A = this chain, B = another copy of it.
Amino acid sequence: MRAVLLVTLAAGLGLAQPADPGKPATTNVMGAEYPKIHADLSVTFRTKAPDAKKVQVDLGKPWDMERDGEGVWSVTIPPQVPGFHYYYLSIDGVRVSDPASRNFYGVSRESSGIEIPEAGADYSEIKDVPHGQVRNYRYYSKTVAGWRRAFVYTPPDYDTNLKARYPVLYLQHGGGEDETGWPNQGRVDIILDNLIAEKKAVPMIVVMDKGYALKPGEEIPQPPAAGQPRRPFFSRTFEEVVIDDLIPAVDGGFRTLTDRDHRAMTGLSMGGMQTFQITMAHLDKFAWIGGFSGSGGIMGGPFDAKTAYDGVLADAAAFNKRVKLVWIGIGTKEPERMYASVHSFHEALTQAGIRHVYYESPGTSHEWLTWRRDLNEFAPLLFR
Contact of A200 with B by CB under 8 A: no
Which of B30, B49, B102, B128 is close to A93, meaning CB atoms less than 8 Å apart? B49
Residues of B within 8 A of A110 (CB): 29, 97, 99, 101-103, 110
Which one, A76-84, A134-142, A240-248, is touching chain B?
Answer: A134-142
Interface residues, chain A, with chain B CB atoms under 8 Å away: 29-31, 47-54, 89, 91-97, 99-103, 105, 108-110, 126, 128, 131, 133-138, 140, 147, 159, 162, 178, 183, 189, 212, 220, 253-254
Which of B89, B95, B133 is close to A136, meaning CB atoms less than 8 Å apart? B133
Min CB–CB distance A180 → chain B (angstroms): 10
Q: Is the CB of B92 within 8 A of A30?
A: no
Bound CA–CA A134/B48 (angstroms): 37
Q: Is the CB of A97 within 8 A of B94?
A: no
Q: Is the CB of A136 within 8 A of B94?
A: no
Nearest residue (CB) in B for A193 is B138
Which of B30, B97, B131 is close to A96, meaning CB atoms less than 8 Å apart? B97
Supposing A29-B109, A108-B30, A178-B30 touch, asked if A96 and B99 sit within 8 A by C-beta, the answer is: yes
Residues of B within 8 A of A52 (CB): 91-94
Residues of B within 8 A of A100 (CB): 109
Residues of B within 8 A of A183 (CB): 136
Bound CA–CA A49/B91 (angstroms): 9
Supposing A91-B92, A253-B159 touch, asked if A134 and B135 sit within 8 A by C-beta, the answer is: yes
